[in-house]
Chains A and B, each alone.
Chain A
Amino acid sequence: MRGLAAGYFGKQVVHGIDFDVRTGEAVAIIGSNGAGKTTLFRAVAGLLTPMQGRVTLGGKDMTRRPAHRVARAGVAYVPAERHLFPGMTVKTNLVLGAYPHRPDHETLELVLELFAPLKARIHRRAETLSGGEQQMLAVGRALMSKPQLLMLDEPTTGLAPKLAKAAFVALDGLKQKGMTLLVAEQQVPLALSVADRGYVLENGRIRLQGTPAELEQNPEVRRAYLGVA
């Protein structure tokens, strides 16, 4: 991403953001509510047309591509609202994740192994799942496309602390398998626990960046996001 700017109805929310994610890396975008994390993600995923700047994926220009073409190019975005298909079964949601291809058996098995609770509910409709299960399904559906980059916006939304922790353990597992991750999260300690690098977003601009260790030592981060005086 180079000099990315985006917003809604002509009102700019994020300004001139530069950041990059390398293959196999886990990058955290941290920031409070309204810092622009979601706007940034939506612009990268093609749900929002950037006002300025460029988005590239492995050298290919993704700027102004509609969302479905960004998705087909290998970017899987899991928004905080998940956008599952409520009336379809867990299985159908997962199968559709591989669209336009038929899902291969190994990927499906892999996802069900990673998110074991889904296996028991494979024929239940998505709307009957608990919040945690829905989050698993959303990430599982995204994985079905075997993406080059998995973007997660606030994966812990609506999850109890224990489940939030479990979610990040699962993400760490994905990272170990070589998945490239971009995660936006308000729960900074969790985000930094899986990240190789982090960016702190404030009022739509990148305020700080660095490794988790560097960010944890930064007095501003400690005060504002880690609750340490």
Chain B
Amino acid sequence: MKAVILDGILLGLAFGLLGVGLTLVYGLGGVLNLAHGAFVVVAAMVTSHFISAGQPTALAAAIGVLAGAGAGVAVDLTLMQPVYRQRGEHRTLLGLLLTLGLAFVIEGLLNWRNPSGALYIDVSGNPVHILGVAESAGSLWASAIALATGAVLVAFLAGTTFGRAVRSVIQDETGARLIGISPARVRTVIFALSGGLAGLVAITRAMTAPVTINVGFDLTIFALIVAVVGGLGSVGGAFLAGILLGIVNTVSAYYIGQYITTIVLLGAAALTILIRPRGLLGR
């Protein structure tokens, strides 16, 4: 049981890292980026390309993360511009449609040009025992990166002037404009951050399992579940929801069976939303 819970927490940190990129963009601009998983795949392919070209893994990974950030900026400055001109439901709907289209285009292009693309990062090292449970080095590295990223994000949002500006746009966009904050600029920076976070998901995921070109939509769906359960716009919520859902996932996989985990996850998410429509830490 201890091992199952610990596995769940490690998986949950990965879920949190996945959900946080989606939740930030939604909180700021009201756009649910259905191409978030596709960003992960793009970053993975870029990293894999540079590793094949003989670059050191760390450098290739950094380039992959930057590629994710670049994809975020590009989408924000082009595809999202008509979306931001809309308000309310129209914005959400147009954002869903355009990012869904983008996800299809990215997956289609990769299927055509690079069908066998995959990123796997081999983390050498013996399994490490934590509380008497053996965990693979790759999984621990991935979790440590996710945890550190979450901590840095929280510190950034709470403790820096720009971070406070980000939160102000999430809480009241008009109020933010009235004190001299440009929501457009904040959104671009956060889209870049979100893309970079997708890149980190690619790197950390590749430490435990190959990231292939067709995992994009699955990742987007998991990111959506995590973000909604955590409360859209809440960084802490995404990680809390990630960990809870990670535990739900491994417990149900262990005691019932792998085949049922997605259903149980969706059930847990639906239940949370029924009891608490704003999500765990949403407002």
Contact = CB atoms under 8 A, between A and B. Distances in A.
A100 B180 contact: yes
Interface in A85-132: 85-88, 92, 95-97, 99-100, 102
Max chain B Cβ within 10 angstroms of own Cβ: one of A68, A79, A88: A68
A68 B184 CA distance: 10
Contact of B180 (A47, A92, A99): A99
Contacts of A83: 172, 174-175, 178
Given A84-B172, A88-B171, A79 B178 contact: yes
Contact of A67 (B167, B172, B178): B178
Nearest to A72: B180
Interface in A64-83: 66-69, 71-72, 76-79, 82-83
A77 B161 contact: no
B180 A145 contact: yes
Main secondary structure of the interface of B (DSSP, over half): helix
A45 B168 CA distance: 19
Contact of B177 (A47, A87, A88, A96): A47
A96 B165 contact: yes
A141 interface: yes
Interface string B152-183: 00000000010011011001101111111111
A97 B164 CA distance: 11
A68 B178 CA distance: 6
A100 B168 CA distance: 13
A201 to B, nearest CB: 22
Contact of B178 (A77, A86, A87, A88): A77
Max chain A Cβ within 10 angstroms of own Cβ: one of B175, B178, B183: B178
A142 B178 CA distance: 8
A45 B177 CA distance: 10
B283 interface: yes
Contacts of B161: 99-100, 102
B88 to A, nearest CB: 14
Contacts of B180: 68-69, 71-72, 99-100, 145
A88 B168 contact: yes
Contacts of A79: 174, 178
A156 B183 CA distance: 29
Nearest to A86: B171
B165 A47 contact: no
A228 B179 CA distance: 40
A72 B181 CA distance: 9
B179 A97 contact: yes
Max chain A Cβ within 10 angstroms of own Cβ: one of B167, B174, B183: B174
Contacts of A87: 167, 171, 283
A47 B178 CA distance: 8
A88 B172 CA distance: 11
B44 to A, nearest CB: 35
Given A85-B168, A87-B283, A99-B165, A66 B182 contact: yes
B177 A71 contact: yes
Contacts of A72: 180
Given A76-B178, A79-B178, 14 more contacts: A45-B178, A67-B174, A67-B178, A68-B182, A69-B182, A71-B177, A71-B179, A79-B174, A83-B175, A84-B172, A86-B283, A96-B179, A142-B179, A145-B180
Interface of A: 45-47, 66-69, 71-72, 76-79, 82-88, 92, 95-97, 99-100, 102, 141-142, 145
14 contacts: A47-B177, A69-B180, A84-B172, A85-B167, A85-B171, A86-B171, A87-B171, A88-B167, A88-B168, A92-B164, A99-B161, A99-B181, A102-B161, A145-B179
List the 4 closest pairs (A to B, CB-CB), nearest first.
A83-B175, A71-B180, A67-B177, A72-B180
